[in-house]
Amino acid sequence: MTKRETTSMKVGILDSTLREGEQTPGVVFTIDQRVEIAKALSDIGVQMIEAGHPAVSSDIYEGIKRIMKLKREGIITSEIVGHSRAVKKDIEVAAELEVDRIAIFYGVSDIHLKAKHHVTREEALNIIAETISYARSHGVKVRFTAEDGSRTDLNYLIQVCKTARDSGADRVSIADTVGILYPTKTRELFSTLVREVPGLEFDIHAHNDLGLAVANALAAVEGGATIIHTTVNGLGERVGIVPLQVIAAALKYHFGIEVVKLNKLQQLASLIEKYSGIPMPPNYPITGDYAFIHKAGIHVAGVLNDPSTYEFMPPETFGRSRDYVIDKYTGKHALKDRFEKLGVKLSDIELDQVLAKIKSNPNVRFYRDVDLLEIAESVTGRVLKPKPPENIEALISVKCDSNVYTTAVTRRLAVIPGVKEVMEISGDYDVLVKVEAKDTNELNQIIENIRAVKGVNSTLTSLVLKKM
């Protein structure tokens, strides 16, 4: 399927970070965090937010209550979905919160019917019909989730979908609950369901147990699914489900569909990393630290000539910038470019000598600019003065006092002239500030203004190097 053939494709995102994401072992969101996450998801353009299962606990209930208040005030614009078992009591709890949609789930595979529900296929159909009708009687839209749908007999799954439709559901989610689908099978499954059960729209809820969740989600879209379930950073039961940032990039690249604001993915990923307490691997796609950093000499040489040689999309699309590492893998092109950025001119012979010194220390992980200048001075015998940078972009890591609310500090930082973006992060520092300055004097002034903010304990500044 080509990009031209998919221009009319309709697909959106349901993000379940607040429901599926909190089912990640060790992850618990506070009420305030739940509200902040919902606002961030709405701001990025997520079509639906699965805000949680309100019957589970009082904090989830209160979180959804506050989220719905913001929805009524127009601050949150996404459709808000409340999760529910196929139990009338759960449905009543969700309905009283006046959510936009109730998502009723029920295991429909034979193994679930026998080992969990202890009912026959026919009894299950009656339960599904009764509970969907009951939810619809409260005047709310209903999505039915066919739990373990990927291991359900196809003919029976079609019966389940028709029952859900005829009882008032306008959407059915097919859950690959244990992550055993593969793309060809996924595409065939959704194509069949779309053909056999007209009048319904279908969601894909793909778990990542075999590492195929993103591929299966794309295949489901090709088969006719119109909503993909995601979590930020791929959180969820066991190894999680489809990561929002990865599927959003894939949909843009393969189908030309921009389902969310791609330039805000990094900020959102950092927020969830902080609140979940689960660090993102540096080699994570799109939002990992290394996503747009190049190392091998031949790669860097290619990127310096034309970034598309080793980048599938420009990092600026995602609010990122490219960089490269100087170490034993570095080639002469990268070294020359780095010294030119520093305003230092070296002859070819001198560059060869610097490169030889770098390669003679193979255990050094990477060389900082100050390290390169020291090596160059030892080779040339000259004192090298790098030129003052202009049009500076910098990332300033901020550590907050332990007795202050980090979000209050971020609000104060966001209004400082020169500050372009503020993100709460996890790790040794609490906040990451992206700034732009015309020269070093202006940069120093911005840094001083940041340090003067009440609650700021210390800062660490890193300059962003990028090819102009």
Residues contacting 458, CB < 8 A, separation 6+: 398, 399
Q: What value does the mean pLDDT take over residues 309-338? A: 92
Q: Which residue has the higher pLDDT, 362 or 14?
A: 14
Q: Which residue has the higher pLDDT, 333 or 207?
A: 207
Which of 75-84, 292-301, 342-351 holds the top average pLDDT? 75-84
The answer to whether residue 284 sits within a structural domain is no
Specify whether 176 is located in the same domain as 59: yes
Specify whether 134 is located in the same domain as 92: yes
Specify whether 251 is located in the same domain as 124: yes
CB contact at 8 A, 145 and 205: yes
Specify whether 197 is located in the same domain as 270: yes
- Is pLDDT above 60 for 372? yes
The answer to whether residue 286 sits within a structural domain is no
Of 380, 400, 429, the last residue of a domain is: 380
Tell me what pLDDT residue 464 has.
77
Specify whether 237 is located in the same domain as 352: no
Confidence band of 2 (pLDDT split at 50, 70, 90): very low
CATH number at residue 417: 3.30.70.920
Q: Which of 98-107, 110-119, 279-288 has the lowest mean pLDDT?
A: 279-288
Q: Render the burial of 272-294: b for 16+ CB within 10 Å, e for the rest.
A: bbbbbebebeeebebbbeebbbb
Q: What value does the mean pLDDT take over residues 119-142? A: 98
> Catalytic site residue 299?
yes
Tokens 């996890």 sit at which residue? 426
The answer to whether residue 282 sits within a structural domain is no
CATH number at residue 256: 3.20.20.70
The Cα 225–Cα 175 span in angstroms is 12
Q: Which two tokens stand for residue 157?
A: 């799954």
pTM: 0.83
Mean pLDDT estimate for the chain: 93
Specify whether 329 is located in the same domain as 409: no
Can you give the residue range of the structural domain that contains 143?
A: 4-276
Of 380, 408, 425, the last residue of a domain is: 380
Confidence band of 1 (pLDDT split at 50, 70, 90): very low
Structural domain total, the chain: 3
Alpha carbons within 13 angstroms on the beta-carbon side of residue 448 total 6
- Is pLDDT above 70 for 466? no
Task: Give me the DSSP letters along 396-409.
Answer: EEEEEPTTS-HHHH
Q: What value does the mean pLDDT take over residues 382-397? A: 80
Specify whether 220 is located in the same domain as 326: no
Specify whether 370 is located in the same domain as 459: no
The Cα 270–Cα 256 span in angstroms is 25
The Cα 21–Cα 23 span in angstroms is 5
Q: Which of 117, 138, 254, 299 is catalytic?
A: 299
Picking from 126, 93, 135, the residue whose alpha carbon sits closest to that of residue 108 is 126
The Cα 107–Cα 221 span in angstroms is 23
Bridge partners, residue 258, by sequence: none
CB contact at 8 A, 292 and 320: yes
- Is pLDDT above 60 for 5? no
Tell me what pLDDT residue 426 has.
77
Q: What value does the mean pLDDT take over residues 17-31? A: 97
The answer to whether residue 285 sits within a structural domain is no
Specify whether 375 is located in the same domain as 313: yes
pLDDT per residue over 203-219, tens digit each? Answer: 999 999 999 999 999 99
The answer to whether residue 104 sits within a structural domain is yes
Q: Which two tokens stand for residue 116?
A: 């969990």
The Cα 450–Cα 431 span in angstroms is 11
Specify whether 338 is located in the same domain as 361: yes
The answer to whether residue 53 sits within a structural domain is yes
Specify whether 370 is located in the same domain as 239: no
The answer to whether residue 51 sits within a structural domain is yes
Specify whether 241 is located in the same domain as 366: no
CB contact at 8 A, 83 and 99: no
pLDDT per residue over 208-257, tens digit each? Answer: 999 999 999 999 999 999 999 999 999 999 999 999 999 999 999 999 99
Tell me what pLDDT residue 389 has.
64
The answer to whether residue 283 sits within a structural domain is no
For the chain, percent of residues with pLDDT exceeding 70: 97
Of 251, 276, 301, the last residue of a domain is: 276
Q: Is 390 exposed, middle or buried (0-12, 13-18, 19+ CB in 10 A)?
A: exposed
Q: Is 304 left (phi over 0), alpha (psi -120 to 50) or beta?
A: alpha
